[in-house]
Structure 1
Amino acid sequence: MTVSEADDSGPRTTGPAATRVWRLSELVRLLGGRLRGADRDIRGIAALDGAAADELSFVVSVKHLPELATCRSAALIVPPACADEAAMAGRSLILTPDPYLYFARAASLMYPATPARGGVDPRCVVGVDGVIAASTEVRALACIGDRVTIGERCVIHAGVVIGDDVRIGDDSVLHPRVVVHDGCTIGRRVTICSGAVIGADGFGMAWDGERWCRIPQRGRVVIGDDAEIGANTAIDRGTLTDTVIGRDVRIDNLVQIAHNVRIGDHTAIAGCAGVAGSTRIGARCLIGGAAMVVGHLSIADGTTIGAGTRVSKSVREAGHYTSYFPFSTFDDWRLNAAHLRQLDRIVGRVKEVEAAVRALKDPQAPAPPKDP
């Protein structure tokens, strides 16, 4: 099939078509919001700069309004502040205070996950004394250990390895090449993306003066309901207690969660972050990409950690914290780095100048004590 032949079939949409045609009024009935303008058929959702006429797009704020000049979409999700300008060219609008959230919910309706078809592929290896619900689908070359319990409507993709005594709740999805080690517990409606490793041994060892002595890791990993774990992320099992991931936690790709860590409900951690052992992260926290959290710390509920930040002490009060050096040209960075290396000497000079100024103002004032 040539490219031209592929382009000639079906409606002209820029992304994948929805599973069926939707009316704008249907979305409003199901998701709320207010429809302004004509009711229309919608076949998909796309970004402003690539939407076709029969696709729904969205405007998050007034700063995106200039993009409407080249947008072909005849229907937009917009905040009320953008309604008048967005309605130009006869567009239909769904008005809502949070267009991005509305887009997320509309996309979930229009592009639902493929349901489990039920059944175990004969090319799988399945251990003894386990229970796999009849509605669950286990695809080719999965390997499932002994005494495993898998709930209803789960999808276990090709090449997944599940160890002994694992429990997986209803409606969970394990994508290709996921590994869940012995004894771990996965909640309901959990998604684990390709290559993630759940329950590998934590980094535990003791030095005896000549060599490292390995510490057996006997805890588990427990993942709460509605969590999502990104591709190639590693969550290590606890040493004696469990590593616990709370409900509705979102962990991005390539994140390292060490042994005995506990992460509170609704926390989100962006890609390439690392959390060292025995740290407690509260609920509703946001951890930016490439952030590093030192072990044995506590982070308060509702804390935001900026991208690239190194957290070296506990955070007792919620707030927005960052330690990342600002982006700059190399020449500016080299100059600032040179100043940083001299910071202690510069502080001493400033104190000397302050003392001299005080002496000029009040010659009788006693000299301040010198630093130890």
Structure 2
Amino acid sequence: MTYSLTSLAAQLSAQLGGDGDLQLHRLATFHGAKEGDITFVSDKKLLLRLSECNASAIVLPTALKETYQGNALFMDNPYVGYALLARLFDTTPNLSTVIADSAQIHESVVLGKNVAIGENVVIAKGAKIADNCQLFPNVVIGEESTLGEGCKIYSNVSIYHRCHLGSKVIIHANTVIGSDGFGNAPYQGTWVKIPQIGDVIIGDNVEIGSNTSIDRGALSDTIIGNGVKIDNLCQIAHNVQIGDHTAIAGGTNVAGSTQIGKSCIVGGSVAINGHITVTDNVVITGDSMVMRSINKPGIYSSGVPAQENRAWRKTTAYTLKIEELFKRVKQLEKQIEDKN
């Protein structure tokens, strides 16, 4: 696909610099770009190395408009420009709008217009699939579940009964929506299973990575807000509520009945305890363990960063002596007080 620099400026709402008739064929990295490519710069360090870039055009901060003489698009946020360009140059294949012969669709299912259904898809009784949805091969949609307009569900995703997706939801391969939460009542040394009878509610423009599990609610629903982004290999337990536009990186586990606010960023491999609250606009760095509620916006961290092994062993040894050292300090303080 090919775009002129003028057409890209219009589609990105960017200010044009240079030759508007320039034809661009590919989006590339700063260091990998060549003639005919467009790239972007959001790293301040790279702004000092623009002469090293071989791209035919660059998306740059608006502040450089008066000084940069090459072909460029000027935006307040070049990284957003990159995202918009990636949409234009995206070559991810879509399913053709047909229903595969091998698909099993209950007679009560309601299908919208231009729905694409791949091989071996199963859609159970009472489900509703809105216009322009794509269900890739081996997807399973449970009873009375609903998909809003323009959803894209990749291969081998299982969506259990009574799961309700908004519009333009993307779910990647092998993810499970609506499986039972971890609910068991202890009884005389055994466990009595607690049926999970809540639903899963997923808002608009949500994207969920591969191999992630989102459990259905025990009594109340598990709720994922609008614009939420959840990475691969995450566990979202029963009754969890995640606020609009929160992003959760890979390997994170959120225990049951926890509420995470809006516009939060949760790093990779974070563990969040159950029955707590995280307020809006919180950043939790990778590998943190959140045991208590967070009631104030800000950046939160825990864990021990990697060290060279010998240094780590010393740090661990010192840590084990903290209680002993604390007692010695208290004794010394008391001795000083007694002398005075």
Identify the residue that residue 76 of structure 1 maps to in structure 2.
58
Displacement after TM superposition at 1:138 (Å): 0.4
1:113-132 paired onto structure 2 within 5 Å: 117-132=96-111
1:211-360 paired onto structure 2 within 5 Å: 211-358=190-337
Displacement after TM superposition at 1:344 (Å): 1.3
- Report the 3-state secondary structure (helix = DSSP H, G, I; strand = E; otherwise coil) of the residue aligned with 2:313: helix
Range 214-223 or range 117-126, more displaced: 117-126
Question: Separation in 2 of the partners of 1:112 and 1:186?
Answer: 25
Identify the residue that residue 189 of structure 1 maps to in structure 2.
168
Identify the residue that residue 21 of structure 1 maps to in structure 2.
2
Displacement after TM superposition at 1:74 (Å): 1.6
- Report the 3-state secondary structure (helix = DSSP H, G, I; strand = E; otherwise coil) of the residue aligned with 1:316: coil
- Report the 3-state secondary structure (helix = DSSP H, G, I; strand = E; otherwise coil) of the residue aligned with 1:120: coil
CA contact (8 A) 1:115 1:153 kept: no
CA contact (8 A) 2:95 2:118 kept: no
User: Residues 86-110 of structure 1, C-alpha deviation per residue, up to 9 Å, x if partnerless?
Assistant: x4xx731212221111110121123
User: Residues 159-195 of structure 1, C-alpha deviation per residue, up to 9 Å, x if partnerless?
Assistant: 1111111100000000011100011111100000001
Range 322-331 or range 220-229, more displaced: 322-331
When the two chains are superposed, the root-mean-square deviation of aligned CA atoms in Å is 1.8
Displacement after TM superposition at 1:358 (Å): 4.6
Question: Separation in 1 of the partners of 2:92 and 2:306?
Answer: 40
Amino acid at match of 2:33: A
Counterpart selection for 2:44 from 62, 66, 72 = 62
CA contact (8 A) 1:188 1:225 kept: yes
Question: Separation in 1 of the partners of 2:333 and 2:279?
Answer: 38
Q: Structure 2 unaligned runs (5+)? A: none
Counterpart selection for 1:38 from 19, 44, 60 = 19
Question: Separation in 2 of the partners of 1:356 and 1:72?
Answer: 72
User: Residues 79-131 of structure 1, C-alpha deviation per residue, up to 9 Å, x if partnerless?
Assistant: 2456688x4xx731212221111110121123276566423111111113110
Identify the residue that residue 156 of structure 2 maps to in structure 1.
177
Identical aligned pairs, as a percentage? 34
With over 3 angstroms needed to count, the CA separation of the structure-2 counterparts of 1:84 and 1:358, relative to structure 1, is: farther
Amino acid at match of 1:78: L
Counterpart selection for 2:122 from 143, 158, 167 = 143
CA contact (8 A) 2:181 2:216 kept: yes
Question: Separation in 2 of the partners of 1:195 and 1:181?
Answer: 13
**1:162 has 2:144 as partner:** no
Range 340-349 or range 165-174, more displaced: 340-349
Larger radius of gyration: 1
Range 224-233 or range 347-356, more displaced: 347-356
With over 3 angstroms needed to count, the CA separation of the structure-2 counterparts of 1:359 and 1:28, relative to structure 1, is: farther
Question: Separation in 1 of the partners of 2:84 and 2:295?
Answer: 34
Q: Structure 1 unaligned runs (5+)? A: 1-19, 364-372
